[in-house]
Amino acid sequence: MLGKIEAVSKNVFYLFNLRAQEETRARQTVAWLLLLATVVAGVISSFTFTQSHNIMNILRQAVALGLVATGQTFVILGGGIDLSVGSTISLTSCLSAGIMAGKGEMVIPAVLIAFAVGISIGLANGFAVSYLKVPPLITTLGMMSIVQGLVLLYTHGPVGQITRAYAYFSEGYIGSVPFPVIFFAVLFALGVFVLRRTTFGRHLYATGESEDIAHQSGIKTRMVIFMTYIICSLSATLSGLFLASRCGSGDPLLGVGYDFDSITVALVGGTSLAGGRGGLSGTLAGVFIMSVLNNILNLLGVFAFWQWVVKGLILIIALSTYRIKY
């Protein structure tokens, strides 16, 4: 019986996938071409852009956004959205640095507690969306408010201190390659493998394309959606731990903007807001587009508020360029 259900679900996935492959490839190709154009603009606009230290800075900046955007892509592919990732980043960074307090023996407890909190947020979001049927926008907007309130109850400013050993997470090297870049590359490859080579990945695409049809074919759609929110919160937790390592302490506003940015790079990368179409390849292009663009604007001395305007324009252009099903 299970074999028949699996066969049916595979057929459903391939039916949806064949219909979406061409559009997805086109969107991702546009994203990579846009990245190429952004890099060319950086080379032309500033001599500093091509210097090795600046390239390394771009790669490090891309890690935090790349981690959280990977999880956000899973949620969007399932037809949802997670607005609570920014506050999750803030909370986990503050908790980890605050508990660590510069003490080497507290590193492991601090990290474990941060993961426990991140998983709890994901569990709450996933349960509300998949089982209570609360709309994702309302669920995660409410969770964003709750978590950010908890952060500000915990601290109103920078808190805690990381250890020298923990700083390796953000500043270390393996050979000539920054450790965080390798760390992100491994997790990104794992995410690609899950989406392309596992049953869960097939079920996620089918659920995002049509939850009703996927459910009728035997897919446990509620559990699929539930798991995407856990994955997303874990990704946000990793991003919070990385940013705490890079900043040397936690900050209650450290995650501000990552909710918007993670959604933007996924959409720019060709993932459909309606779910079922897209993938991590395009998201990676979106992450680098955003990181390179931020770097160029910083090198040119553009005021931070204008950078928000530019990000908003990019999102609007992406949504108007791609044909998104509602």
In a domain, residue 45? The reply is: yes
Residue 43 lies in a domain: yes
Please identify which residue in the block is written with the tokens 């596992």: 198
> Which residue range is the domain that position 131 belongs to?
2-321
Residue 99 covered by a domain: yes
On whether the CB atoms of residues 24 and 205 are closer than 8 A, the answer is no
Is there a domain that residue 281 lies in?
Answer: yes
| Tokens at 232, concatenated | 């997303």
Burial (CB count <10 Å: 0-12, 13-18, 19+), residue 182: middle
- The amino acid that residue 114 corresponds to is A
Span 190-247, pLDDT tens digits: 999 999 999 999 999 999 888 888 888 889 999 999 999 999 999 999 999 999 999 9
Residue 149 is assigned to a structural domain of this protein: yes
* Residue 57 located in a structural domain: yes
Q: How many domains is the chain built from? A: 1
Q: pTM above the 0.75 mark?
A: yes
pLDDT recorded at residue 14: 54
| Residue 262 contacts residue 83 (beta carbons within 8 Å) | no
* Domain membership flag for residue 326: no
Q: Give the DSSP per-residue string, 22-49.
A: HHHHHHHHHHHHHHHHHHHHHHHH-GGG
CATH code of the domain covering residue 66? 1.10.3470
Beta strands, E only, 90-212: 173-174, 177-178
Q: Which residues is 177 bridged to in the sheet?
A: 174
Q: What's the pLDDT score for residue 325?
A: 45
